[in-house]
Amino acid sequence: MRWLVTGGVGFIGYHVSRALLTRGDEVSIADDFSDAPYPRAEKLRNERDLRAEFPSVTIARACVTDREAMAPLVAGCHGVLHLAGLAGVRPSFREPARYSRVNIEGSATMLELARAAGCNRFVFASSSSVYGNSTPLPAREDAPCVVPESPYAASKRAAELVTAAIGQIAREMPITALRFFTVYGPRQRPEMAITLFMRAVLAGRPITLFGDGSMRRDFTHVSDIAAGVLAAMDRAPAGFRAYNLGSGAPVTLRELVDQLERAASRRAVIEPANVPAGDVDATFADISRARDELGWTPKVALADGLETVRDWVSAHP
């Protein structure tokens, strides 16, 4: 198989691209190497590491909203894995129009190009953020997603709706939305909680804990996410279909800190703060659809996953 992976030098993109290359697939990567929210320096390191390990990989600098730049990259591919986009709840309040353009228009553009090029399938990154606070937990894919808590969440849900609508005239094509739940692991965005907290705890700096520590998150290790993405690329059925990829075992932020302390062998210094706008009370995935239809289940326990973050942070101060 030959895949175009957009956002392939980002956090999840690196791990999925590496997994595809490891199993022998051909991979072309498109990334605009923008600097936020994932730092450009991290993308450049991911690019260097991929090229060093897999000289056959091709990496182009292009933005998914640029139809002319993306069209020749899609040509000849069996499928498109669309991971590019703007992530982050809090930054989306500062640039809602940019988030809408990249996440909605970019997704529609890539699906249009994939169809025009005769690609066999289209898989793209959505988010657990689409559920908001109004969806009953554990969140199921067929539950209502109608009250987004941030422009980021709205843009991801809108991307799902647009691609599902396009799917009405492409019923034979698998169009698969993957709702990722709080992904962590080596190479994570440095401002995300687990990497940020681990660096602070190891250095003896305080960490900021929002609210009373009772917010729950369904933390999912990036290796499990990569396995789920490959399962969807291989097995998702024709038509539009959404899948939750999460651990299915949420923990409170207080419990997260306790496990971080054990992994770091150090006590955390905690500074409380108010919960920022857009943060949901809890994320909790019902993963039965991915298990039953894709044959996927997460394997990495939080304690083990935190050790991989500790090792990465220690090796890359």
In a domain, 314, yes or no: no
In a domain, 199, yes or no: no
Q: What is the rounded distance in angstroms from the CA atom of residue 127 to the CA atom of residue 107?
A: 14
- In this prediction the pTM is 0.97
Mean pLDDT for 21-48 is: 96
In a domain, 48, yes or no: yes
**What is residue 285's DSSP assignment?**
B
Asked if pLDDT for residue 317 goes beyond 90, the answer is: no
DSSP-derived pairing of the beta strands 251-252 and 216-217: antiparallel
Instruction: Identify whether 152 is a catalytic site residue.
Output: yes
Domain total of the chain: 1
pLDDT for the residue numbered 192: 94
φ and ψ at residue 313, rounded to 5 degrees: -65, -40
pLDDT band for position 36 (cuts 50, 70, 90): confident
Peptide bond into 138 cis (omega under 30): yes
pLDDT band for position 263 (cuts 50, 70, 90): very high
Asked if pLDDT for residue 98 goes beyond 90, the answer is: yes
In a domain, 173, yes or no: yes
- Contact predicate 283/218, CB 8 Å: yes
In a domain, 62, yes or no: yes
Question: Looking at per-residue confidence, does 288 or 277 come out higher?
Answer: 288
Residue 240: how many other CB atoms lie within 10 Å:
22
Task: Find the CATH number of the domain harbouring 96.
Answer: 3.40.50.720
Could you say which of 38, 99, 131, 152 is catalytic? 152
Mean pLDDT for 243-249 is: 97
**What is residue 168's DSSP assignment?**
G
In a domain, 263, yes or no: no
For 265, the enclosing helix (H) or strand (E) is: none
Q: What is the rounded distance in angstroms from the CA atom of residue 59 to the CA atom of residue 4?
A: 10
Asked if pLDDT for residue 66 goes beyond 90, the answer is: yes
Asked if pLDDT for residue 77 goes beyond 90, the answer is: yes
Please give the C-alpha separations between residue 19 and each of 8, 69, 179, 240, in angstroms, as whole numbers: 11, 26, 19, 24
Give all strands (DSSP E) within 158-317, no chain letters. 174-180, 183-184, 206-210, 216-217, 220-221, 239-245, 251-252, 269-273
In a domain, 172, yes or no: yes
In a domain, 44, yes or no: yes
Q: What is the rounded distance in angstroms from the CA atom of residue 38 to the CA atom of residue 44?
A: 11
Mean pLDDT for 37-47 is: 96
Asked if pLDDT for residue 166 goes beyond 90, the answer is: yes
Asked if pLDDT for residue 164 goes beyond 90, the answer is: yes
Asked if pLDDT for residue 221 goes beyond 90, the answer is: yes
Asked if pLDDT for residue 35 goes beyond 90, the answer is: yes
Query: What's the domain range around 28?
Result: 2-183+219-247+285-299
